[in-house]
Structure 1
């Protein structure tokens, strides 16, 4: 009877402690995922450079399509890498090479668009503002995004799909806010760019940064 009593107590303790420890594990893992997402999303890169330029040239509202596209594009990339896309690229190097050179070409195209802009600020949703598809394409052709996806999946998911989906759900809002901050910063700069000449100088400076990113990929 005594053994049965203590076994009952032990089983009750397990029912209490195991879920509690699991919650603590998920909380600490979620915080670590959030910190990784913030560091990777807020740091300078081609996507954020374009968001800054779009905010300065077209305002925050017109730039949100690019922000949303970049967020959706990265979350999709993250999930597909977690489901085995990276292994597919390792198996088919030609596909990886096409993505690599496609990224170089796309960065140079965006740099050309910035450098050739007339410098006139628009207050409406201009058709020249980067679209959601631009945001998606920039993430898929962005080596920084691939590195972040591969590193994040390797560090936090351990091949577990439920952790992969948790990572994507955490990463999405943080990525959106981070890229939007760059667009917002551009919209704040906008008030000091009344002269089209100043806008052109800013755009050409950002274009040089994009060209630098493309050159870095080549070498």
Structure 2
């Protein structure tokens, strides 16, 4: 029982803290509102626990045999995050967008697949599996317990960031304020990938 509580505490603390998912869902809440951002929210809340299950049940062994695949995913992840940062920074305030030029939030599938190129998601998934599994207990049971813990905390944790973004819209009702917010969130996304960029630089350019 104590182990499961520890897993829940880890899942909650790692899910509620800032990261690419939470920054993006908060930005989506401000720019598109809660209703249009629900597929994005559900994609995160289902996609990440499924990723944890896949990593825990042996997907990580593929990367042990073919480490270049992990490096490729890492590079693609950084490139995609930088692209998303540019989209966020250049997004027009919702009050200025015409029907023809209106941008769209991430879909369910885009948000779910994003977990596989999200650096923080990899750290959380591999860290949880490494810390809360042991050879003395059935691996399937342990991995499912970890995945279900993340599923249980995902909706309230990630949902709170979506709600916060939606509430902010009431205060940032001026186009210039919305632009400033979008640029700030884009910069945070860039900052979130700096450790990965530094790691890649040390590996391939040092």
Aligned equivalent of 2:52: 78
- Rounded Cα–Cα distance in structure 2 between residues aligned with 1:151 and 1:194: 40
Aligned equivalent of 1:162: 141
| 2:188 maps to 1:191 | no
Counting only pairs closer than 5 Å after superposition, residues 25-36 of structure 1 correspond to structure 2 as: 27-36=1-10
Aligned pair count reads: 191
Structure 2 spans left out of the alignment, 5+ residues? 199-206
State the secondary structure of the residue aligned to 2:91: coil
State the secondary structure of the residue aligned to 1:107: helix
TM-score using structure 1 length: 0.82
CA-CA distance at 1:61 after TM superposition: 2.0
Aligned equivalent of 1:179: 158
Q: What are the superposed Cα offsets for residues 172-205 of structure 1, whole Å, 9 maximum, x if unpaired?
A: 0201221111111101101012111111110011
Aligned equivalent of 2:67: 93
CA-CA distance at 1:137 after TM superposition: 2.7
Structure 1 spans left out of the alignment, 5+ residues? 1-26
- Which residue, out of 108, 122, 130, partners 2:82? 108
Aligned equivalent of 2:108: 132
- Rounded Cα–Cα distance in structure 1 between residues aligned with 2:81 and 2:92: 19
- Which residue, out of 34, 43, 49, partners 2:17? 43
State the secondary structure of the residue aligned to 1:198: helix
CA-CA distance at 1:143 after TM superposition: 1.6
State the secondary structure of the residue aligned to 2:171: coil
- Rounded Cα–Cα distance in structure 2 between residues aligned with 1:201 and 1:130: 21
- Which residue, out of 162, 182, 198, partners 1:203? 182
Larger radius of gyration: 1
TM-score using structure 2 length: 0.87
CA-CA distance at 1:127 after TM superposition: 5.7
| 2:67 maps to 1:66 | no
- Rounded Cα–Cα distance in structure 2 between residues aligned with 1:49 and 1:134: 16
State the secondary structure of the residue aligned to 1:52: helix
State the secondary structure of the residue aligned to 2:94: coil
8 A Cα contact 2:34 2:166, kept in partner: yes
- Rounded Cα–Cα distance in structure 2 between residues aligned with 1:127 and 1:207: 16
- Rounded Cα–Cα distance in structure 1 between residues aligned with 2:119 and 2:166: 27
Aligned equivalent of 2:202: none
| 2:182 maps to 1:214 | no
8 A Cα contact 2:91 2:103, kept in partner: no
- Rounded Cα–Cα distance in structure 2 between residues aligned with 1:119 and 1:189: 13
| 2:72 maps to 1:117 | no
